[in-house]
Structure 1
């Protein structure tokens, strides 16, 4: 029968008071092996910092208006989308990206106190519900600089 990974394994040390929590039976067996050899068990007591290499990604805007406003329509605005849009804003501050939500009153995640609207306000994004506001359609043109948006198939 395979081990259940989600269950934490707990084992009392020989001293009887300290408890070390292992996440797998294999970790527990290795600790027991070290103890049997009379060696100290040093389990998850250190951290090592490392950098995850950058990767190039692409973003496909839902709608690009004639006036240069980019409109992203969202029913669900998950954490990956939020991270992506913060990165895009950081790398392309000249772009005007706005959101149209099914409901800007939706919470970021179950149990969250923050709504999509509050996230947008905090991060400087304009937003609307259900449809693009007519005012956005009539705004003065903001040309998108050459080379930022690439036609699909023109990678």
Structure 2
């Protein structure tokens, strides 16, 4: 009997960290959008220590402006803190978050969702389940 591989295992085989990243990469390519996976590095500072953030996708629009896409399945506290620091230190960067499920709660005891936190932090975000990919693709060109 053949071993079944998970989406994450397949994604890792092709150099991605998650199945969602691989799905978005395939969708972008199928629609003629040129993107680079984790090719751009954004340095940021956690007070008293320096760190680097690799946005999942960097897209350069036809007018030369950059858009960064970050995919999130689980959005753990450490990632939320990191994204808060990035927004504070680089307020003019166009970073957009694509959640696998933006209605996921930050913890089982909280009513707060990933989407609500992203809005509070000032990010444009999308729910991959409800995403009109064609609209997003038009905006990314």
TM-score by length of 2: 0.57
Aligned-pair CA distance for 1:138? 2.6
Residue 117 of structure 2 aligns to a residue whose secondary structure is helix
Name the counterpart of 2:121.
Answer: 123
Alignment partners' CA distance in 2, 1:124 and 1:134:
24
Match of 1:95 among 68, 87, 93: 93
Alignment partners' CA distance in 2, 1:94 and 1:125:
11
Any unmatched runs of 5+ in structure 1?
A: 1-51, 142-155
Structure 1 residues 140, 72: closer, same or farther in 2, change over 3 A? closer
Could you tell me whether the CA contact under 8 Å between 2:97 and 2:125 is conserved in 1? Answer: yes
Residue 112 of structure 2 aligns to a residue whose secondary structure is coil
Name the counterpart of 2:104.
Answer: 106
Alignment partners' CA distance in 1, 2:139 and 2:132:
12
Could you tell me whether the CA contact under 8 Å between 1:104 and 1:116 is conserved in 2? Answer: yes
Q: How big is the alpha-carbon RMSD for the aligned residues of Structure 1 and Structure 2?
A: 2.2
Could you tell me whether the CA contact under 8 Å between 1:100 and 1:132 is conserved in 2? Answer: no
Name the counterpart of 1:54.
Answer: 48
Any unmatched runs of 5+ in structure 2?
A: 1-45
Moved over 2 A (4+): 131-141
Match of 1:78 among 76, 87, 100: 76
Measured against aligned partners, the alpha-carbon deviations of 1:18-73 in whole angstroms (never above 9, x if no partner) come to xxxxxxxxxxxxxxxxxxxxxxxxxxxxxxxxxx9611100011011122111100
Residue 104 of structure 1 aligns to a residue whose secondary structure is coil
Which structure carries more helix by proportion?
A: 2
Which structure carries more strand by proportion?
A: 2
Measured against aligned partners, the alpha-carbon deviations of 1:72-119 in whole angstroms (never above 9, x if no partner) come to 000000111111011011111110111111100000112111001111
